[in-house]
Amino acid sequence: MTLYSSQTANVHRTWLLMAGFLVLVIATGYGVSWYYNSPIILYVAVFFAVLTNFWSYWYSDRAVLYMTQAHPALREQYFDFYTVTENLAITAGIPKPKLYVIDDPAPNAFATGRDREHAVICATTGLLSMMTRSELEGVVAHELSHIKNRDILLMTTAVVLAGFLAIIADIFLRMSFFGGGKSDNDGGNQFTVIIAIVGIILAPIAAQLIQLAISRKREFLADASGALLTRYPEGLASALQKINAYGKPMKKTSHATAHLFIGDPFGAKSTNFIERIFSTHPPVKERIDALLSGTKK
């Protein structure tokens, strides 16, 4: 896959994600409204599905920054962060993104926003204090690649939509345990209730699978794109080694935003088969090997 085809594919995936979310919420709302014999539930589900899609496109980056407790980075305090980002943004041919910082000793970073003109790069204080300049360049180049490859809209939208799915699934599941539904004499009622409850339970699982699907390949592509940007893959490889070696989780972590970060915010994990399936990030060793493979030829 080329960089240009990846950019186009990410735009298409974003619209498919939003359309799939709309269908899933409306279908769930229809099932619950039928069970409670209340059309208003369906109307409310449609309204909130449309509203959430609109809000996730325009304001999901604000939600991410709020959830991670990030604050604007001052140029005087984080001068290297600013100069590295300015230089690499010029090289990449994109506007310099806004810079934010999270007060956390765990080294990590992410990019968010809906497009190149409204992008943000956020780094933890731990990463900014721990990395050498070449390592910081590797991390920033990786995040700029997410912006240039148009990953950020898909990644950021998934945060809001997945979180909303989990909320409505919880609400509907709680409703299903209370009375008010159709009579047990209605044909097929028991079967419909079972299907509705199963669908409600599977909604947040589907959201998690969406995040897993968009996370892994894009990390390898951003690593490769970042290495091309700096012409020094060893810098990013060394940064990934430090992030992985730290091992401890961030102070404030969330499954909703975990896929955004360059490293797993829950800390280093074992590489057994089950954990690899449900991890939002590919193994660090595989990423480092891919980065350094070209330098060993």
Instruction: Report the distance separating Cα 47 and Cα 181, nearest Å.
Output: 22
Strand pairing class (109-113; 119-124): antiparallel
Instruction: Report the distance separating Cα 117 and Cα 151, nearest Å.
Output: 14
What is the reported pLDDT for 40? 87
What is the reported pLDDT for 205? 64
> Which are the catalytic amino acids?
143
What is the reported pLDDT for 121? 97
Whether residue 240 contacts residue 284, with contact meaning beta carbons closer than 8 Å, is answered with: yes
Instruction: Report the distance separating Cα 236 and Cα 265, nearest Å.
Output: 17
Who contacts 11 (Cβ-Cβ below 8 Å, separation ≥6)? 150, 153
What is the reported pLDDT for 16? 73
What is the reported pLDDT for 226? 94
Instruction: Report the distance separating Cα 6 and Cα 150, nearest Å.
Output: 8
* Backbone φ and ψ of 177, nearest 5°: -90, 0
Amino acid at 134: S
Residue that has been written with the tokens 């919420």 in this structure: 25
DSSP state of 112: E
Residue ranges per domain, the chain?
3-296
Instruction: Report the distance separating Cα 153 and Cα 80, nearest Å.
Output: 27
* Backbone φ and ψ of 172, nearest 5°: -65, -35
pTM, rounded to two decimals: 0.77
Amino acid at 82: Y
Instruction: Report the distance separating Cα 227 and Cα 186, nearest Å.
Output: 63
CA angle 97/145/289 to nearest 5° reads 140
pLDDT of the chain, 297 residues: tens digit per residue: 444 455 556 556 666 766 777 777 777 777 777 777 788 878 887 888 788 778 777 887 898 999 999 999 999 999 999 999 999 999 999 999 999 999 999 999 999 998 899 999 999 999 999 999 999 999 999 999 999 888 887 777 777 776 676 666 666 666 655 555 554 545 445 555 565 566 666 666 665 655 555 556 788 889 999 999 999 999 999 999 999 999 899 998 887 788 889 998 988 665 554 455 556 678 899 999 999 986 554
- Phi-psi category of 117—alpha, beta or left, where left has phi over 0 and alpha has psi -120 to 50? alpha
User: Residue 22, Cβ neighbours under 10 Å: how many?
Assistant: 17
β-pair partners for 120: 98, 112
